[in-house]
Amino acid sequence: MSKHIDGVLHAAAKGRGGVGVKHNKNTAETPVERMPIPQRVVLPMQQHIGAPCVPTVKVGDTVAVGQVIGDSDKFVSAPIHATVSGTVKAVGDVKLANGLITKGVTIESDGEMRLFDGLEPPKVETVKDLCTAVRASGLVGLGGAGFPTHVKLSIPPDKHVDTLVVNAAECEPYITVDYREIIENTRDIMEGVYTLQRLFGFKNVVIAIEDNKPRAFKRMKEVADMDNDRGDEVKLMVLKSKYPQGAEKMMVLSATGRRVPPGKLPADVGCVVMNVGSVAFVARYLRTGKPLVSRSITVDGSAIEHPNNLRVPIGTNIQDIIDYCGGFKTDPRKIILGGPMMGLAVCDTQSPICKQNNAILAFAEGAPAVKRERACIRCGRCVEVCPMSLMPTLIEREARIKDVDGLKLHNAMVCMECGSCAWACPSGRPLVQYMRLAKQVLREEGSK
Partner 1 sequence: MSAKRLTVSASPHVRSAETTSGIMLDVIIALVPALAMSAVYFGLRALVLAATTVATAVAAEYLSRLVMKRDNTIGDLSAVVTGLILALNLPASLPLWMAAIGSVIAIVIVKQMFGGIGQNFVNPAITARIILMFSFPAQMANWVRAEFPAAPHYITDAVTGATPMATLNQSWRDFASAEGLPSLREMLLGVHGGSMGEVCAIALLAGGLYLLLRRVISPIIPFSFIGTVAVIMLIAGKGNWQFLCYELLGGGLLLGAFFMATDYTTSPLGAKGRLIFGIGCGVITAVIRLFGSLPEGVSFSIILMNILVPHIERLTTPKPFGYEKPKKESKEQEAAKA
Footprint on this chain of partner 1 (rule: CB under 8 A): 16, 19, 21-22, 173, 249, 259-262, 264, 319, 331-336, 340-350, 361, 363, 368-372, 374-381, 383-384, 387-391, 393-394, 409-411, 414, 417, 419, 422-428, 430, 432-433, 436
At closest approach, how far in Å is the CB of 122 from partner 1?
36
Residue 167 vs 185, nearer CB to partner 1: 167
At closest approach, how far in Å is the CB of 130 from partner 1?
29
Rounded Cα gap, residues 70 and 46, in angstroms? 10
At closest approach, how far in Å is the CB of 299 from partner 1?
16
What are the b/e assignments for 154-178, b being 16+ CB within 10 Å? bbeeeeebebbbbbbbbbbbbbbbb
Residue 288 vs 433, nearer CB to partner 1: 433
Helix (H) or strand (E) holding 252: helix 248-256
- Strand 62-63 and strand 3-6: the pairing is unpaired
- Rounded to the nearest 10°, the torsion over CA 172, 174, 175, 178 is 90
Rounded Cα gap, residues 56 and 298, in angstroms? 31
Residue 220 vs 394, nearer CB to partner 1: 394
The neighbour count for residue 387, using CB atoms within 10 Å, is 23
* Sequence-ordered list of residues with C-beta below 8 angstroms from that of 62, at least 6 positions apart, any chain: 85, 86, 87, 88
* Sequence-ordered list of residues with C-beta below 8 angstroms from that of 189, at least 6 positions apart, any chain: 166, 181, 182, 207, 220, 276, 279, 280, 283
Residue 228 vs 433, nearer CB to partner 1: 433
Residue 48 vs 334, nearer CB to partner 1: 334
Residue 204 vs 319, nearer CB to partner 1: 319
At closest approach, how far in Å is the CB of 212 from partner 1?
16
Helix (H) or strand (E) holding 384: helix 381-385
At closest approach, how far in Å is the CB of 176 from partner 1?
16
For residue 243, what is the DSSP state?
Answer: B
At closest approach, how far in Å is the CB of 95 from partner 1?
13
